[in-house]
């Protein structure tokens, strides 16, 4: 089965690619990025926008999704519906690309212009858009996790012996 048809490989390779992007493009350490620092708290985890916490967050979700698809396939004995996998993958990838864009944009703000009111207004608008996109992304991921759990309990073929 080609890698793009296997949901485990599709999500796993994408998660690894996001981690690779984080390694290849480390966060900037100049004053503009430090002054434009913003944080998002999710379940007591601090996601740091200028520290590229967005990359780790999106990559971790992709790797958890790969693990979820692996477990669903092992526990039910059937591969997941390809249409649902594509419906899950492409919006998730769009959110990951939006995260990459926002992180790179914030890290490219020069220290001389970070206090400019126009830059601050634009930054706040982008961060608000990111916050709403992350809420939609999390709801979307939870919906697929609940659907996967429901599929496992409904179609379970593996019997676990005590």
Give yes or no for a contact between 72 and 80, defined as CB atoms under 8 angstroms apart. yes
Token pair recorded at residue 69: 């698809």
Highest mean pLDDT among 7-11, 49-53, 115-119, 150-154: 7-11
Distance between CA atoms of residues 1 and 94, nearest Å: 25
Residue 40 falls in which region: left (phi positive, over 0), alpha (psi -120 to 50) or beta: beta
Give yes or no for a contact between 32 and 113, defined as CB atoms under 8 angstroms apart. yes
User: Is the confidence at residue 149, as pLDDT, over 70?
Assistant: yes
More confidently predicted of 46 and 21:
21
Is the four-CA dihedral 48, 54, 55, 59 of positive or negative sign? positive
- Nearest residue to 53 (alpha-carbon basis) of 43, 38, 66, 34: 38
Query: Out of 71-80, 124-133, 136-145, which region has the weakest mean confidence (pLDDT)?
Result: 124-133
pTM: predicted TM-score of the whole model, two decimal places? 0.76
The position carrying tokens 């690779």 is 20
- Nearest residue to 5 (alpha-carbon basis) of 70, 64, 86: 86
Distance between CA atoms of residues 55 and 48, nearest Å: 10
pLDDT attached to residue 26: 64
- Per-residue confidence band for 89, with pLDDT thresholds at 50, 70 and 90: very high
Give the residue-averaged pLDDT of 128-157: 82
**36-74 burial, b if ≥16 CB within 10 A, otherwise e?**
bebebeeeeeebbbbbbbbbbbbbebbbebbebbbebbe
Distance between CA atoms of residues 152 and 80, nearest Å: 11
């Amino acid at each position: 089965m080609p890698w793009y048809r296997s949901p485990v490989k599709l999500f796993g390779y994408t998660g690894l690619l996001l981690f690779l992007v984080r390694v290849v493009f480390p966060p900037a350490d100049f004053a503009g990025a430090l002054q434009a620092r913003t944080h998002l708290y999710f379940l007591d985890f601090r996601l740091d926008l200028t520290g590229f916490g967005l990359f780790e967050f999106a990559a971790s979700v992709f790797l958890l999704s790969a693990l979820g698809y692996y477990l669903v396939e092992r526990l039910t004995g059937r591969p997941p519906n390809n249409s649902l996998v594509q419906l899950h993958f492409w919006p998730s990838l769009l959110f990951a690309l939006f995260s990459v864009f926002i992180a790179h944009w914030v890290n490219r703000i020069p220290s001389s212009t970070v206090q400019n009111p126009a830059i601050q207004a634009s930054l706040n608008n982008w961060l608000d858009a990111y916050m709403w996109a992350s809420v939609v992304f999390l709801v979307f991921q939870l919906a697929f996790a609940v659907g996967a759990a429901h599929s496992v309990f409904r179609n379970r073929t593996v019997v676990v012996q005590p």
